[in-house]
Amino acid sequence: KNEVEQSPQNLTAQEGEFITINCSYSVGISALHWLQQHPGGGIVSLFMLSSGKKKHGRLIATINIQEKHSSLHITASHPRDSAVYICAVSRYGGSQGNLIFGKGTKLSVKP
Amino acid sequence: DAGVTQSPTHLIKTRGQHVTLRCSPISGHKSVSWYQQVLGQGPQFIFQYYEKEERGRGNFPDRFSARQFPNYSSELNVNALLLGDSALYLCASSLVGSGSLSYNSPLHFGNGTRLTVT
């Protein structure tokens, strides 16, 4: 079993839909990261959180430390949101860059 | 300000050869981390350097090595290339490397170097 599991693996949505991507992890962490990767390969860091909830524009990330679970929500989805979304965790006591990554969720938003 | 820059963007090598990949962090960032992403998989951690010292190492063979220079740029070296080393190699920088300050120091990723080994 992977230490970071994401679901679903693939997600197709219609423009305007509310989207949720889930991440569960099995190790103690100091932070959880949500990343966005476009087809060219470059990665953009969306959120880094260790508790509670963060919001940026149409994106919302939540984390429940007790349940070892995080969700990424996209409200009013748009075709430009199409990308791979990756959950990654920094192991507690480890160096910040020592991330354990999920396999990613490929999101396709249709107009 | 320029973001994290990686060079080259693409590279084709033959089995057994050696390769050097380069990464320039965001100005002021002292930590650089390297990751390997095989097609269809999530990235895997290779190394982290902070203030020119190795601060973390992933589960990669000794053929992989790295270093960080006084200007905080970094090189990743891979010797005796195998077909399985074909991947996207990503670099990320941050202000700090670990500890409580890292909670407010997000990672910034470059666009990667796509290495093909034939």
pLDDT band with cut points at 50, 70 and 90 for residue B99 = low
Q: Are B23 and B87 in contact (CB under 8 A)?
A: no
Question: Is the confidence at residue B40, as pLDDT, over 90?
Answer: no
* B41/A97 touch (CB, cutoff 8 Å), yes or no: no
Question: Is the confidence at residue B2, as pLDDT, over 90?
Answer: no
Instruction: Give CA–CA dist A111/A13, Å, rounded.
Output: 9
* B44/A101 touch (CB, cutoff 8 Å), yes or no: yes
A4 contacts: CB under 8 Å, gap ≥ 6: A23, A24, A25, A26, A87, A88, A89, A100, A101, A102, B42
Of B58, B88, B94, the CB nearest to A96: B94
Kindly give the pairing relationship between strand A19-25 and strand A4-7: antiparallel
Instruction: Give CA–CA dist A75/B109, Å, rounded.
Output: 25
Burial of residue B72 (CB within 10 Å: 0-12, 13-18, 19+) is buried
Residues of chain A contacting B31 with CB distance shorter than 8 Å: 96-97
Residue A34's pLDDT is 97
Question: Is the confidence at residue B31, as pLDDT, over 60?
Answer: yes
Residues of chain A contacting B50 with CB distance shorter than 8 Å: 95
Low-confidence ranges of chain A (pLDDT < 70): 1
Residues of chain B contacting A40 with CB distance shorter than 8 Å: 111
Mean pLDDT, chain B, as a whole number? 91
Residue A18's pLDDT is 98
Nearest Cα neighbor of A108 from A78, A87, A86, A88 is: A78
Please compute the mean of the pLDDT values over residues B7-11 and round it to a whole number: 96
Please compute the mean of the pLDDT values over residues B28-48 and round it to a whole number: 94
Please compute the mean of the pLDDT values over residues B103-115 and round it to a whole number: 86
Question: Is the confidence at residue B83, as pLDDT, over 80?
Answer: yes
Of A42, A86, A98, the CB nearest to B56: A98
Burial A74-87 (b: 16+ CB within 10 A, else e): beebeeebbbbbbb
Residue B97's pLDDT is 59
Question: Is the confidence at residue B80, as pLDDT, over 70?
Answer: yes
